[in-house]
Structure 1
């Protein structure tokens, strides 16, 4: 009874909680809200009375009788056991006394004495046993009566308190019953009135209905809320079926956005209205259509009437004009900050031809053509449109949001359709891909917790999988427990000496083995974005750097390093070590050592594997003059490996034991494309090596005209920036001054001259 009562009280509390929640939902109606509140309070009091009743039953009935059974009855049973034992002893003594022979007096005397003692003990225990029986019988009566009387007093108190509570509530209940009758009458009257209005509306003609109820369409460019115009529009999907879906669109903050439901996250159609145009469309089958065209895509929309279509077109045009009237500096600063961030960048101006796709092929198509990139690398969702640029994988929009939550130290997310892509970054994404990366991060995904989610899996499953995969790295292939992995060894100890009897591998063959086949950089030169201001972390304008990068990587860098004494030595050493490394078992190397070797031999997959296994991206090999993986990538001659290391946090200004940073080595070897990349990433060209030479001095000594010109132009940009800085703000973005125009003219003449020569 007590257990069932407790269950009843629990469910009754849930009911009272529901009544109170309903009261909160009906706060607009005073009658219902007050009624539910008072009834909820009364029911809560009844629940409290029930709890008191069951507590008293617990103490009076259950606990009291339980003590009687466990203590008094147990004591009686122990006395009964002792009595039974003494009785058996007495019977045994009687048997022995009867069996004593007449002619053995000593046995008779012994049996008689034992019988006498046993009888005395039996009489004492018999008296105690009878006493226990009488006490127990007497106590049983008042124990049962006392417990039941206490329980009935608790029942009396419960019902008396309940009656008192409901008696106080009785006047209010009678008053509410009277009001309820009036509410029923009022509801019937209101129902008849609504039916009369409904019949009157049905009698109107369709023309009168439209002329009377057509809404007034307005938009406000200077609305305080920032929403210029909003309403429902039909949107044509970009899939093969071209389906039309009705969505709630709005123009706000110089963006065109929509959402499926009221509480859904806003989906951005146009990131910046200044980069788009709008026009009505009369050449399709559906009516009232108009098209919003941006530099990367177009969106076909349909209004409900011609008047609404004109209003939307005018609202978009007015928003474009209003965006251009706003302060351009703040917009440019925001865009430059987003571009300088390694995880994202903005859509750039559509007026430059370099925004167009490379040879008619978009960034999305180029990257999705890589093996495994046709679906999300983490959940398998088809047509992924987001990428992690430091991991090299393509993601769906849901997985990209989870990657963003990991932080940029784990994953840097960028859109394939909304963001601009530098040529070197696009080449890097084409070199990795989902298949290559998943072979590393999902090498061992069997066992508990290793079930890969699908596109239809809940978000928490995807989030757990992504954290286990990239943060905890639970699915990496476990390295062998070899002594070689305890501490980094100098890689020269891993060289395999070439036997004199073995023929030397031809240079062409070594090149095919060591150099990965990369996309043409010349074909990617127009994929960069246009920005009209300097970036704070770069000495050059991004558009000028992209032009220089495209030219040098396709032209001057293809000629190979300069033939200076030190460059020849470094190049020869790189070829010899690369040939020896090809014979070593890289699986037994320390991750830091593997990263060095992979960067030197231009093995991007092995480098990604080393970083996944915990290799420090800035680890300096003390046995090799303190060189970092980024320096090894420069010596190996791979610009893509340099970009991969920079995206994963490599320090562009870290020096070796001879005081040389990656920019020094790239200048010494004549790697013009790498010099341009390091300048773009904020390399310090004033740093001095152990010979007190900066990169410009090295370039002059090596007689490399391209790098000399590039470094001098970079210094000109730096000096111009410092000279034109406002007071108190060192190193700001340069404005459109005569000095800047002269600097840009020098850049254009420099590029044109070398393009004509090539």
Structure 2
């Protein structure tokens, strides 16, 4: 808080004390008057009582008792006379004279303070283009401030003198009255003797107050001289903010706020940043008015294109607020305080997530401490994946209990066939152990959506017609290697693909692509040799729908298609349609027939299959395309990458997946918008937080040096680990919802 605000708050507090003291002293004077009047009545009655006793004493000879009673009456007279002089008269003079002077000084102080506020407003309103008005307003403000400082010091001195004088006068009066009481109650000396230390301490405090008052008076005189040597063109108090303030207030002070009405008037308000909100008050004790409810969705920038100086703007998704500081130093401090509050809000959000995260899905993880409900390892993944139909044997040779997998194909392999797959290269097959490696939830879900049966229907579709013999578990390595290369590299066993075969369920004529369950039934242990029967508008399998878990083959039936669907589809078109329909088996078939994973659809704004999968809403379809080499930063005709589309649609899990795979969030589309600006406009706090955390981590990486290739997570700072936890948590939540 600035010096002026602290001074004003202290003065207000002292003024309140003086008013309270005045009221109490006035009441005390009245009570003292009542006591004195009552005392005089008591003394008169007591004198009559003593006279009556004296008259009686002529008969009982009690002269000593009469003397004692007369002495008591005399002490009472001394007591009330002392009260008249020390209490009533002194306090009455203080209330009528000293407090009256204080009130007159207060009126002058309030007038000069109003003049200074008017000068501040005029100085703020002076347009930068009219230099003579600026100079005049500045000169007036300086003069007014100096005058205000002088009068403020006089007023403060008067206030503290009144406050300090009231206490000594009070104490002095009470001391005299207590001494009279001491004289009155001689026989109660033991009781008064207990109060004697207090009376001595009170006298010492009285002496100290006199000394302190003299020292404060000298300090005030010294500050009078200092004012002449200082420049008051702007408030020179210390400007600072604290995002970790115990009371939650990051920064506070006066700002000019431009109204949203047609007149665009400017009003001076007390602003503060607290609880990740920007709020203001008309006065310090008024209720808070919220300007920005969530600083995470906001940005702040200086404004140089308006007439008023020292302006900055706080922009939220729903409105903007134009503010003006009193100096350039204050403007920079407010901008930095808002930015620091935004960063603090991100850190608080990221610290709320606690989930151990994995390395990229193309590599293994050595940690064994991850929660089993999120990161699955060992027998758990083996049991779940082997429970799929056809996965109880190796996809290529039929060996029982396979414990290796090709994650981009979605099949299980024995150890010998997995070695052959490794030799094909990662562009063809990516091999991972089911028992030795740790599996990310998205990869585990992907493996459960395809399986050996579906892939063999695709890659061995023509084996029955060609009457080819598939190698068995006891076949030599050379036979298995020749079969695997012919199957996956040369693709000799693919059946000719027809567009009508791939169309899936739909009710609208313009869009026939959707998803339908598979029908599964029992089959032999060896890889199935099936005929495909396609039903018009019937799909192979939906990744987000439940299917019969009994082992067996998958038959896809076909009905007569209408004329517009009878034409053949090329693999690229089939891949686009299947990606949008979230149909992983058809996507795998299109890739097997040579579909380009990064092909674009000229009829649909040059969108890639990955963008189509984003539109379909399936995180697993996106994961399948990425595992098969999809470009995470490929953009459509509007300049939008998959991250742009996922942000527009509010698909938080997909946003996390793309950030995890190194998607760039600084690229802008043809409208000049990056993913962060799109999320801010949509007021999606989760995605805004994720994108800004990602950007902060990128900046930290650039500052600390490169950590690795895009899509790879280094074991770095705690902030990086918090960010990774957020990413994996949202991916897991998206998989659970699917």
Q: TM-score range by the shorter chain?
A: 0.3 to 0.5
Task: Report the TM-score, using the length of structure 2 for normalisation.
Answer: 0.41
Task: Report the TM-score, using the length of structure 1 for normalisation.
Answer: 0.40
